Structure 1
Amino acid sequence: MTLIDLTMSSLQERRLDTLPVAIVGAGPVGLAAAANLVERGIDFVVYEAGDEVASSIRRWGHTRLFTPWRHLVDPASQRLLEAAGWELPSPEVLPTGTELVERYLEPLAALEPIASRLRTGVTVEAITRRGMDRTRTANRASTPFLLRIHSADGIKETTARAVIDASGTYEQSNSLASSGLDPLGLTEVADRVGHALPDVLGRERVRFAGRHTTVVGAGHSAANTLLALAELAEQEPGTRITWLIRNASAVRVTTSDDDELAARAAIGRRVEALVRAGRIELVDRFEIVRLGRTDDGVRLYGLRGDDLVEHETDLVVNATGFRPNLGMLREIRLELDEIVEAPRRLAPLIDPNVHTCGTVEPHGFAELEHPEPGFFLAGMKSYGRAPTFLLATGYEQVRSIAAWIAGDLAAARNVELVLPATGVCSTSLAADGASAGSCATDAGAASGAPRSSCCG
């Protein structure tokens, strides 16, 4: 490389530093990233697809998290808020999603340094490098990122020095089918298949009252909906509940007495009791392959071993978990684990076959890096399909990323985090309702959201 080349490269890098950092998603982790950048004096813009911050959490806001306030507030965000007169809610209290939004995220987003850089109603449709697809290498690291955004004003493009994608996974449900593909016939019954964590006792009460609902999924998202439906059944005659799982036992619902998040353990015990009492029908070893419409509802066709079996219901709730939307990143050079779709160096630390939320090691920018310099997945999206995410983990991620962007490598590498113990043993519900210990985590829940659990 010649002296002229070196000079041009240096000029390009300095121009890059004049651009803002793009943060995709104004949920808890996206806003925490903003707070950390505020403290570092680094310019940024937050793009939120919803009309308000934390739009995904608002959809399941009726659900109570089983993580207390002391694990739900980002340290940098807390410092900014307290400087403006805000007080942390009672540390041991478990908020609902709505309380998390109204008492923490909305005040945080309203702080002038963040509010002035927040863009709601803006969807990031694609991310690439300006003038480069993923195949071009020369000067890539010193070339600005290009974001194509869609808002009420139309489709535009904007540039950024770095990108933190904290857009979450709640909008991307896993498939009802065991194959990972949408089951055949889904489009014909789409109006009778709902997303995880519906507001059964609130705004969607009329939809479920007096009807037969089948909840598909073996995690805490499913368990929360089952409990709500059981309460509804006490009040509304004719309300029936089926819990449909693909395995021989529901190993995802944690009930260990060692779980420091006691509210999470209680969920499993309550569901077990309802199954044993016959108030929830458990249908196991049912691998859905096709859906069909009936006069009053949905017929599910599934495999039990080599046998084709059927199950009829009025409504279906898909609580099978979530996956990241990677389509918007097609031109970004990603290095993802081939199984859980998390950054390759992070994947072994969050493997749900080994780890629960509380056994994940602290990690930061180094585990989140990709071959695309300056691009990071953060929050639940960084976990891919693994369900072991805690909000506190996401906060430490963006603290480290912000330090890296600022050039403070010592702080970026010094990752420290104390997570609540989770007591990994989970409850296996056999067909007769008997329970047995088994190690597992919540594959059917969403981050900080529908998991109403670890989350963020």
Structure 2
Amino acid sequence: MNTPKLPVVVIGAGPIGLAAAAHLIERGLEPLVLEAGPSAGSAVRGWVHVRLFSPWAEVTDPAAEKLLAPTGWVRPDGGTYPTGGDWAERYLQPLADTLGDKVRYGTTVTGVARAGRDRIVDSGRDEQPLTVHIRTADGHEERITAHAVIDASGTWSTPSPLGADGLPALGEKSAADRIAYGVPDLNDPAVRARYAGRRTAVVGSGASAFTALAQLADLAKDEPGTHAVWILRRGLTGSTYGGGEADQLPARGALGLRAKAAVEEGHASAVTGFRTESVERDADGRLVLSAEDGRRLDPVDEIIVLTGFRPDLSFLSELRLGLDERLQAPTALAPLIDPNVHSCGTVYPHGVNELSHPEQGVYLVGMKSYGRAPTFLAMTGYEQVRSIAAAIAGDRESAERVELTLPETGVCGGAGLFDEPENAEQSSGCCAAPATLQIGAPAPSGGC
């Protein structure tokens, strides 16, 4: 495409999207970051109470730090662990402020296409720029012409449902007033009152579920009658709680031990091999979960669904994307991250070659590039956008050179953000390596 004077549109002002903008600027390219929310890191702000597994030293991007340095910004103590709120306020928002009018808030991308060509048309396709259709907060519609598009919109807005078949369980939508799709903030008095003295079903087997179990167990010590029913689609094994004291990420290991203690101390009871098919209200208005094998659980008052996330591909429907049929990740990347095969120790840094699509100039990055796989690291995302920015700038040699060395992995197993595939190895689904970040996975008092 002969469109270098057009901006490179970046979708999403989260950690990877803002890092993409920083790398583009470093390459002399003009980024335009479109953020649906009212501020930087809107998705991260959805879990402000969550503390990361990883320290500050591992959750900032080098090119972003170069942009921030002239403003007087000082990176927080690299050995301390930020919450989601800290990350957003002390790094993401200052970075976005430094980018100034290169970031547009309240801007929802409704479609991306090739100018004048729907996905069927071949003729002249690669010579046309990309068009990004947007809707602003006041309802105004606009079309932006772009040299390339980097989609870093993540997966936070599309949590996976309660149903074991990947679709909403029967009755799930009608019970929405009693269902949460994230770790609740029990520091909020209103949220705390919602779960205090009640039975809550926690569905999921990863770090988010561990966090919910641990927090509900703490609540039970102050509020009698508080109890968690932990619903797992698989069995309960020695590796279910992760690496414990042997985990090289101490915060992650401690979280698994807290979840284990919640069960052993009677604050939570585990129900295994339960594949939810439906949820219905009983005569008292409480919720009853039923499984595909016919089992029905005793009524609960609330349900917390922590079964992972998935990418929203609806606004990319006119583009020619090459996606794996199972993971919904780029075809060349999928074999490297497939949790049915790989553990966290065998996912390697990658760049433009693995992230390219049949549609030239279009890239899915960050958590969205991993589709439904749970092994994403922020450090990996920063390497993704460094490589892509180099490729867009025409520096193919740099784009194809791996400039990230990941640390050796710690103990894995059961620490993933998503439910692990049934046929995965015991160590699969672990999405963090020592001193690295797993986007959005709650730690003892939060995540990642």
Return the TM-score normalized by structure 2.
0.91
SS of the equivalent of 2:17 reads: helix
Task: Count residues in correspondence.
Answer: 429
Deviation sequence 1:400-443 (CA, Å, 0-9, x none): 00001100111111112222333344369xxxxxxxx9323248
In 2, Cα distance between the equivalents of 1:388 and 1:427?
12
Indicate which of 259, 266, 271 corresponds to 2:254.
266
Higher strand share: 1
Task: Give the structure 2 partner of residue 238 of structure 1.
Answer: 225
- Describe the superposition over 1:130-166 as per-residue Cα deviations: whole angstroms up to 9, x where unpaired: 1111111122122111111111242222111100000
Q: Which residue of 1 aligns with 2:439?
A: 448
1:163 alignment partner AA = V
Structure 1 match to 2:169: 183
Asked whether the equivalents of residues 176 and 216 of structure 1 are also in contact (C-alpha less than 8 Å), the reply is yes
Closer/same/farther in 2, CA of residues 211 and 442 from structure 1, 3 Å limit: farther
Q: How does 1:73-152 map to 2 (within 5 A)?
A: 73-111=60-98, 114-151=99-136, 152=138
Task: Name which of structure 1's ranges 126-135 and 347-356 shifts more when overlaid on structure 2.
Answer: 347-356
Is 1:329 paired with 2:316? Answer: yes
Q: Distance in 2 between matches of 1:325 and 1:448?
A: 17
RMSD, aligned CA? 2.1
Counterpart of 1:164?
A: 150
After TM superposition, give the deviation of residue 357 of structure 1 in Å. 3.8
C-alpha spacing 1:205/1:321, structure 2 compared with 1 (3 Å): same
**Deviation, structure 1 residue 378:** 0.2
Question: What is the CA–CA distance in structure 1 between the aligned matches of 2:171 and 2:49, rounded to whole Å?
Answer: 31
Offset of 1:373 from its aligned partner?
0.4
- Please name the residue that 1:52 is paired with: 39
1:355 to 335, 342, 347: 342
**Counterpart AA for 1:198:** P
Change (3 A) 1:280 1:292: same
Per the alignment, in what secondary structure is the counterpart of residue 266 of structure 1?
helix
CA deviation vs aligned residue, 1:361-417 (integer Å, no higher than 9, x gap): 110011000000000000000000001011000000000000011001111111122
Report the equivalent of 2:186. Answer: 200
Match of 2:277 in 1: 289
Matched, 1:174 2:165: no
In structure 1, how many angstroms separate the alpha carbons of the residues matched to 2:63 and 2:105? 22
3-state secondary structure, aligned to 1:100: helix
Instruction: Confirm or deny: 8 A CA contact 1:200 1:225 kept in the other structure.
Output: no
Structure 2: how far apart are the matches of 1:226 and 1:274?
7
User: CA–CA distance in 2 between the matches of 1:320 and 1:62?
Assistant: 19
Amino acid at match of 2:272: D
Structure 1 position 249, deviation (Å): 2.2
- The whole-number CA distance in structure 1 between the counterparts of 2:222 and 2:302 is 19
Matched ranges for 1:17-32 at <5 A: 17-32=4-19
Aligned ranges 1:302-381 → 2 under 5 Å? 302-303=291-292, 306-381=293-368
Aligned twin of 2:29: 42
Q: Write the deviation string for residues 236-255 of structure 1: whole angstroms up to 9, x where unpaired.
A: 22221111111112656422
Distance 1:29 1:425, change over 3 A: closer
Structure 2 stretches of 5 or more lacking a match? Answer: 416-424, 432-436
What percentage of residue pairs aligned between the two structures are identical? 45
Structure 1 residues 34 and 240 mapped into 2: Cα distance closer, same or farther (>3 Å)? Answer: same
Equivalent residue letter for 1:119: R
* 1:76 Cα deviation from its structure 2 partner: 0.4
Q: What is the CA deviation profile of residues 47-94 of structure 1, one whole-angstrom value per residue up to 9, with x for unaligned ones?
A: 111111111111111011101112101110011112322222111211
Q: Is the 8 A contact 1:188 1:293 kept in 2?
A: no
CA distance in 1 between partners of 2:261 and 2:85 (Å): 28
Matched, 1:414 2:405: no
Q: Distance in 1 between matches of 2:183 and 2:236?
A: 21
Runs (5+) with no aligned partner, structure 1: 1-12, 429-436
Write out the 4+ residue segments of structure 1 that deviate beyond 6 Å after TM superposition.
453-456
Question: Using the alignment, how far apart are the partners of 1:253 and 1:65 within structure 2?
Answer: 18
1:116 partner SS: helix
Work out whether 1:395 is the aligned partner of 2:382: yes
One-letter code of the match for 2:185?
Answer: D
Distance 1:229 1:55, change over 3 A: same
**Post-superposition shift, 1:311?**
3.6
Match of 1:155 in 2: 141
- Give CA-to-partner distance per residue, 1:24-53, whole Å, 9 cap, x none: 000000000011111112112111111111
State how far apart, in whole Å, the 2-side matches of 1:167 and 1:214 are: 30
- CA gap of 1:40–1:198, structure 2 versus 1, over 3 A, is same
3-state SS, counterpart of residue 159 of structure 1? strand
1:301 aligns with 2:284: no
Task: Specify the SS of the correspondent of 2:277.
Answer: strand
